């Protein structure tokens, strides 16, 4: 296996592990507090890497505002709804819903930049949708590990007094907003990245602005209700998720893109819906059903058709 392909698959493993870490925080950390911790940890880590690389010199005033807009939509909004999706329907369905980012990106490219949609990309969009409908539709009827855990009341084992009973449909809505917000955020960041902004600097700037927003939000009635005592175990999981996903996962993805084909790397790094299944099997002791596997593979096949032009 070529190095770039190995890096891309390793990045997908990191993204899957991050989802598993975050799922463990359900019922233990309020949503806005989780988002605030995650953004602060991500900013510190990616900011340090950027300083070591001298990446801040690649950001001009125009690129700053482009990345600021990307931060509001792609990080502040999309990250919050991403964590809400994990809390509501679990990491497996969240990973499937996140696959909608590629179809949304294609459609936005068509609407904003006038880019054409090829037959293979159209087929890819249909496959992603089919995979999500198959995995979620059948599993809703048969029951699934993550849905059963998420739809029941999950009380905090650490006495934080946090309860969740979100349900499937709100979770699906959060997931769709996450994918759309991520696609819009990527679209807004595209000119800055094309201008040569260093990737870790871009992530550091986006996460730093988001962290600032959430810190300010904590002083308002909405954010103040989410303030809870810091628990060491929960904080370790948040920092671990930030390191594995935003720092290590991003490093591997950037290394893969540096030498590999963009389409192949994009496809392999989107294997999270499949890779997360054995992780959930190990965690829960229950084997995911056939629909879960077929849905995940259809979503990846659709992403491949969209990415491999």
pLDDT tens per residue, the chain (309 residues)?
A: 577 888 889 989 999 999 999 988 887 888 888 888 899 999 999 999 999 989 899 999 999 999 999 999 999 999 999 999 998 888 888 998 999 988 998 898 888 878 888 899 899 999 999 988 887 765 554 445 455 444 444 444 333 333 445 567 788 899 999 999 999 988 888 888 888 888 889 989 999 999 999 888 887 766 555 556 667 788 899 999 999 988 888 888 877 876 677 677 778 888 888 899 899 888 888 888 888 889 899 999 999 898 876
Residue 25 within a domain:
yes
Residue 52 within a domain:
yes
Residue 173 within a domain:
yes
Rg (CA), the chain: 19
The count of structural domains within the chain is 1
Residue 235 within a domain:
yes
**Pair 79, 217: CB distance under 8 Å:** no
Residue 276 within a domain:
no
Domain that holds residue 216: 3-117+146-261
Going by C-beta distance under 8 Å and a sequence separation of 6 or more, which residues neighbour residue 60? 195
Residue 296 within a domain:
no
Residue 73 within a domain:
yes
**Runs of H (alpha helix) within the chain:** 3-23, 31-53, 61-70, 78-98, 101-113, 119-142, 145-151, 168-194, 199-217, 221-224, 232-241, 250-259, 262-268, 272-284, 290-307
Residue 125 within a domain:
no
């Amino acid at each position: 296996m070529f190095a770039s392909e190995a890096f891309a698959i390793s990045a997908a493993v990191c993204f899957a592990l991050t989802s598993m870490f975050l799922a463990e925080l359900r019922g233990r950390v309020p949503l806005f507090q989780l988002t605030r911790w995650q953004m602060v940890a991500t900013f510190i880590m990616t900011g340090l890497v950027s300083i070591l690389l001298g990446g801040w010199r690649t950001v001009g005033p125009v690129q700053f505002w482009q990345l600021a807009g990307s931060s509001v939509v792609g990080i502040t909004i999309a990250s919050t709804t991403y964590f809400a999706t994990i809390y509501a329907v679990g990491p497996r369905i969240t990973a499937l819903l996140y696959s909608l980012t590629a179809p949304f990106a294609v459609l936005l490219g068509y609407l904003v930049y006038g880019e054409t949609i090829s037959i293979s990309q159209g087929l890819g969009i249909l496959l992603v949708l089919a995979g999500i409908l198959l995995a979620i539709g059948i599993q809703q009827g048969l029951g699934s590990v993550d849905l059963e855990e998420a739809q029941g009341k999950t009380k905090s084992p650490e006495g934080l007094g946090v309860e969740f009973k979100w349900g499937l449909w709100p979770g699906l809505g959060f997931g769709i907003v996450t994918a759309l917000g991520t696609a819009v955020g990527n679209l807004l960041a595209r000119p800055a990245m094309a201008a040569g902004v260093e990737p870790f600097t871009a992530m550091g700037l986006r996460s730093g602005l988001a962290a600032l927003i959430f810190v300010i939000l904590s002083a308002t009635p909405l954010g103040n209700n989410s303030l809870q005592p810091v628990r060491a175990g929960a904080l370790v999981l948040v920092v671990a998720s930030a390191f594995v996903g935003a720092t290590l996962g991003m490093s591997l993805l950037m290394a893969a893109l540096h030498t590999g084909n963009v389409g192949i790397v994009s496809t392999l790094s989107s294997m999270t819906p499949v890779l997360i299944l054995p992780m959930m099997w190990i965690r829960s002791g229950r084997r995911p059903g056939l629909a879960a596997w077929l849905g995940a593979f259809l979503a990846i096949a659709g992403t491949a058709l969209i990415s491999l032009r």
